[in-house]
Amino acid sequence: MQERDFYEERPETKTHMLMCPHCNQENEYQLNWLTRRKKQRLPPNADAKDRAQFEKARSYMLRRDDVVGCKNIRCRKRFEVAGIQSVAFVQDVPNDSMENRIARLKANFDRRAGEGTKRVN
Ligand SMILES: [Zn+2]
């Protein structure tokens, strides 16, 4: 089993603000990324080694564009993408929703506790 078997691959585009080093003009650029989201569970043919690797695996994104063409029509030069990491970790969805749920529960609890105090007074 290979690392890529742990992930669902999907191409994505994201908008980034980039400044051209030739003309110093800042513009929005669409960059291509490849998102590798960790699967919910391993395929059934996984062995113990695969499972150990899968445990450690995290969703991430790979930037596929290294060079963009300047949008300034008086410049139009190509420049390297700088200041944006080439690999970015992605929050896994189940973790994310669990954290949100805890935060929501806590907010509800705090509100209820506040109302209780008001009623007593
Ligand atoms: Zn430029």
For 5-21, the pLDDT digits (tens) are 899 999 999 999 999 99
Could you tell me if residue 58 is inside a domain? Answer: yes
Q: What is the reported pLDDT for 115?
A: 53
Could you tell me if residue 76 is inside a domain? Answer: yes
The per-residue pLDDT for range 51-88, each reduced to its tens digit, is: 999 999 999 999 999 999 999 999 999 999 988 889 98
30, 27, 35, 38: which is closest to 10 by C-alpha?
35
What is the count of structural domains for the chain?
1
Q: What is the mean pLDDT of the chain?
A: 84
Alpha helices by DSSP H, 22-92: 48-56
Could you tell me if residue 115 is inside a domain? Answer: no
119: tokens are 């009623």
Could you tell me if residue 100 is inside a domain? Answer: no
Distance in Å, CA 112 to ligand 1 centroid: 56
Sequence-separated (6 or more) residues with CB below 8 Å from residue 110? none
What 8-state DSSP symbol labels residue 73? T
Q: What is the reported pLDDT for 114?
A: 55
Distance in Å, CA 71 to ligand 1 centroid: 7
Answer yes or no: is pLDDT of 100 > 70: no
Contact predicate 80/89, CB 8 Å: no
Could you tell me if residue 46 is inside a domain? Answer: yes
Domain hosting 17: range is: 3-92
